């Protein structure tokens, strides 16, 4: 009887403990349910609004990114001497493909400090140019129409129009912008406005490309893209889980409605003030928010309907921003909350059963030493540590393999560069290649013609790394295939361009090709967007540029490259180089520059060619000091005996 009583006592105590656990579990469930019910609605609203604004911010960043990329490309063209606003056909050749590939850019404007302006507009089924010269033509403007697909001119006419780009907000804002520490001007964004030609809402992005030290009337060139904002409403609508009930607005800084996501119901006219919006809840929400305008989420009542609203700023640039406004009816959020509660009360009994099971198992094995649990935990931690250590070793080995692969790629690329130079009577040749730490894209090659002449090519791939090395390999292959055309530099560049067309991705190649005719003592040359080589003329004791223009290789089809030539005399020295030489910067961000290079060429022309090249590399290295060089340097020097 004593044993039975003991067993019953144990069972009673076990049952009592389980009852306590059950009551405690139910109490905990009720407490959690109460807290969850109080906080769930606010948390759901904040989470959903935050998710919508985060996704909208990402979409807006991607929407405006091609515009800034297009402006940087225009600045690059300008720095390479390709932008000539007075040459309408050349400007069209550059920007028609750009506007075609970027539909949100409806037109391109340029303005110069003398009032000259160029417009390229995509209008229905044609391209349209407007050329203004207010200081020459007055109010008379020239217009040209082109077929949208063939880009062939189909009409030319004149109109009377009082237009001066210097009076436009995009020009004024760009001219007044201040350069950054690198001396480059930032993109200036105007206030949103309604485009005169289409009636659509838009914004203009402008970039000053003029002289970096000039102000006022000598501001140089300003390029501006007119950007359509009509697609932002569609983008916002696609982000909403319930687009016929939920709302997203994009407001300007001065609280005008830029766009509205709603699919049904009355739509606001673009850029209408918020207090005149057709959507009354927006007026109420903005009025309450404007008392403390900052990023926030809050609850507002309008006409018996509860709305959850959120405001978050989208910073387009330091001086231009928009407000992203999300409005969600609480009725929709309650539906979500009810679904969450149903899930919660389905899970709660399962959790309760689990708690009871754990209590029963704990009571049954109560006498087990805690030491066993500690040992098991220790073994688990040791296993986890061993797993982490093994994974670390795998990553370490893979990183070493990647470094070895990059080293091999760097060595392979340097083997492309000629280290032995042609021996041709009447010429002395010396070249030098200084690689950067990363894999670069500089390349040069020579083509001998049985003692009658020497062809050469020097090139530079945009960017660095493995892509640049692969494009350099394609250049070397192209030179090997077309080396017999080196006597005609323009023809060689045309064939290389066809060889690279649409194979370079986002990269391009600049190149300069020359042919030195020994018998005629002359040089012919052509250029594909490369920096101009220099020639020291012994007879005049002066340094001149081998100036000829042409588009870079890869992005565009260009059949013909212009050739120039001049006679060579004894004592002349030719210097070919890549932009890593003249764009080397010191600690004050000052570039070595073409002027400093020309002065040194004139000063040291009497030095033997190898000594001259090596000394020049030393001077450039001292110029950039301890900074890591950002680009390769390739140099070719040729003396005429």
For 383, the token pair is 């296993």
In a domain, residue 140? The reply is: yes
**CATH code: domain of residue 522:** 3.60.40.10
For 487, the token pair is 């006597």
Instruction: State the pLDDT at residue 381.
Output: 77
Tens-digit pLDDT profile for residues 469-528? 888 889 999 999 998 999 999 999 999 999 999 888 889 999 999 999 999 999 999 999
Instruction: State the pLDDT at residue 413.
Output: 65
Instruction: State the pLDDT at residue 287.
Output: 85
Q: Decide which of 535 and 256 is more confident.
A: 535
Decide if pLDDT at 122 tops 70: yes
Please give the share of the chain, as a percent, with pLDDT higher than 70. Answer: 80
In a domain, residue 251? The reply is: no
Mean pLDDT over the full length of the chain: 83
Instruction: State the pLDDT at residue 48.
Output: 82
Instruction: Centre a 10 Å sphere on the Cβ of residue 61 and count the other Cβ atoms it contains.
Output: 12
Report the pLDDT averaged over residues 349-358: 66
In a domain, residue 52? The reply is: no
CA 53 – CA 314 distance, rounded (Å) = 9
Decide if pLDDT at 598 tops 90: yes
Domain termination site, one of 228, 255, 285: 228
Q: In total, how many domains does the chain have?
A: 2
Decide if pLDDT at 353 tops 80: no
In a domain, residue 110? The reply is: yes
Domain termination site, one of 175, 199, 228: 228
Report the pLDDT averaged over residues 66-76: 92
Instruction: State the pLDDT at residue 432.
Output: 93
| C-alpha Rg value of the chain to the nearest Å | 36
Instruction: Centre a 10 Å sphere on the Cβ of residue 452 and count the other Cβ atoms it contains.
Output: 13
For 472, the token pair is 């350099």
**CATH code: domain of residue 117:** 3.30.450.20
Report the pLDDT averaged over residues 377-393: 78
Task: Choose from 9-13, 297-301, 582-586, 613-617 the range with maximum mean pLDDT.
Answer: 613-617
Decide if pLDDT at 367 tops 50: no
CA 274 – CA 272 distance, rounded (Å) = 6
In a domain, residue 446? The reply is: yes
Instruction: State the pLDDT at residue 6.
Output: 46
Measured over the CA atoms of residue 388, residue 392, residue 393 and residue 398, the dihedral's sign is positive
The number of C-alpha atoms within 13 Å of 391 and in the hemisphere containing its C-beta is: 6
Least confident of 25-39, 570-584, 608-622: 25-39
CA 416 – CA 225 distance, rounded (Å) = 41
CA 635 – CA 176 distance, rounded (Å) = 40
In a domain, residue 241? The reply is: no
Q: At what angle do helices 2-79 and 231-239 cross, to 10 degrees?
A: 170
Domain termination site, one of 210, 228, 246: 228
Confidence band for 412, pLDDT divided at 50, 70 and 90 = low
Tens-digit pLDDT profile for residues 204-253? 999 998 655 444 444 679 999 999 988 887 787 777 766 567 788 889 88
Measured over the CA atoms of residue 251, residue 253, residue 255 and residue 258, the dihedral's sign is negative
Decide if pLDDT at 448 tops 50: yes
In a domain, residue 303? The reply is: no
Instruction: Answer whether 0.85 is exceeded by the pTM.
Output: no
Range of the domain at 129: 90-228
For 538, the token pair is 């012994």
In a domain, residue 499? The reply is: yes
Confidence band for 1, pLDDT divided at 50, 70 and 90 = very low
For 26, the token pair is 């139910």
Confidence band for 267, pLDDT divided at 50, 70 and 90 = low
Tens-digit pLDDT profile for residues 171-198? 999 999 888 888 889 999 999 988 876 7
For 590, the token pair is 């000052």
Least confident of 263-267, 431-435, 465-469: 263-267
């Amino acid at each position: 009887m004593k044993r039975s009583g003991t067993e019953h006592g144990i069972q009673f105590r076990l049952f009592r403990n389980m009852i306590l656990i059950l009551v405690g579990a139910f109490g905990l469930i009720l407490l959690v349910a109460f807290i969850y019910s109080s906080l769930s609605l606010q948390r759901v609203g904040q989470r959903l609004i935050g998710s919508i604004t985060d996704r909208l911010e990402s979409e807006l960043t991607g929407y405006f990114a091609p515009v800034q990329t297009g402006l940087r490309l225009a600045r690059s063209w300008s720095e390479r001497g390709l932008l000539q606003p007075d040459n309408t056909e050349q400007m069209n050749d550059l920007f028609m493909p750009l506007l075609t590939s970027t539909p949100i850019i409806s037109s391109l404007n340029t303005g110069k400090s003398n009032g000259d302006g160029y417009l390229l507009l995509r209008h229905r089924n044609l391209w349209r140019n407007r050329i203004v010269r207010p200081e020459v033509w007055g109010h008379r403007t020239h217009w040209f129409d082109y077929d949208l697909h063939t880009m062939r001119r189909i009409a030319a006419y004149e109109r009377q129009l009082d237009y001066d780009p210097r009076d436009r907000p995009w020009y004024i804002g760009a001219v007044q912008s201040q350069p950054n520490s690198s001396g480059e001007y930032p993109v200036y964004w105007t206030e949103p406005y309604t485009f005169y030609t289409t009636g659509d809402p838009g914004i203009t992005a402008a970039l000053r490309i003029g002289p970096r030290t000039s102000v006022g009337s000598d501001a140089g060139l300003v390029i501006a893209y007119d950007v359509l904002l009509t697609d932002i409403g569609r983008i916002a609508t696609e982000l909403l889980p319930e687009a016929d009930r939920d709302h997203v607005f994009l407001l300007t800084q001065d609280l005008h409605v830029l766009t509205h996501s709603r699919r049904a119901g009355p739509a606001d006219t673009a850029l209408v003030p918020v207090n005149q919006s057709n959507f009354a809840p927006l007026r109420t929400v903005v009025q309450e928010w404007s008392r403390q305008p900052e990023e926030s989420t809050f609850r507002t009542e309008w006409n018996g309907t509860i709305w959850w609203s959120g405001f978050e700023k989208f910073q387009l640039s330091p001086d231009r921003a928009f407000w992203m406004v999300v409005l969600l009816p609480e009725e929709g959020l309650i539906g979500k909350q009810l679904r969450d509660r149903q899930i919660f009360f389905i899970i709660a009994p399962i959790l309760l059963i689990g708690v009871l099971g754990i209590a029963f198992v704990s009571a049954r094995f109560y006498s087990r030493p805690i030491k066993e649990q500690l040992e098991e935990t220790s073994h688990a931690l040791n296993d986890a540590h061993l797993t982490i250590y093994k994974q670390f070793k795998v990553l370490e080995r893979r990183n070493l393999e990647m470094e070895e692969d990059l080293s091999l790629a760097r060595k392979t690329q340097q083997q492309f560069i000629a280290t032995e130079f042609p021996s041709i009577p009447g010429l002395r040749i010396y070249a030098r290649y200084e690689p950067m730490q990363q894999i670069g894209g500089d390349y040069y090659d020579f083509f001998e013609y049985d003692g009658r002449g020497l062809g050469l090519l020097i090139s530079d791939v945009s960017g660095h790394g493995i892509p640049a090395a692969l494009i350099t390999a394609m250049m070397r292959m192209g030179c090997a295939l077309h080396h017999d055309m080196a006597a005609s530099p323009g023809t060689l560049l045309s064939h290389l361009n066809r060889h690279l067309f649409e194979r370079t991705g986002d990269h391009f190649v600049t190149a300069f090709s020359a042919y030195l005719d020994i018998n005629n003592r002359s040089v012919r040359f052509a250029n594909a967007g490369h920096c101009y080589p220099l020639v020291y003329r012994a007879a005049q004791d002066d340094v001149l540029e081998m100036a000829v223009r042409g588009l870079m290789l890869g992005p565009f089809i260009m059949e013909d490259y212009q050739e120039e030539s001049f006679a060579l005399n004894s004592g002349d020295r030719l210097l070919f180089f890549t932009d890593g030489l003249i764009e080397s910067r010191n600690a004050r961000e000052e570039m070595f520059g073409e002027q400093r290079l020309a002065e040194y060429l004139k000063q040291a022309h009497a030095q033997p060619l190898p000594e001259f090249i090596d000394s020049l590399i030393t001077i450039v290295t001292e110029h950039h000091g301890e900074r890591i060089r950002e680009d390769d340097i390739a140099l070719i020097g040729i003396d005429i005996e």
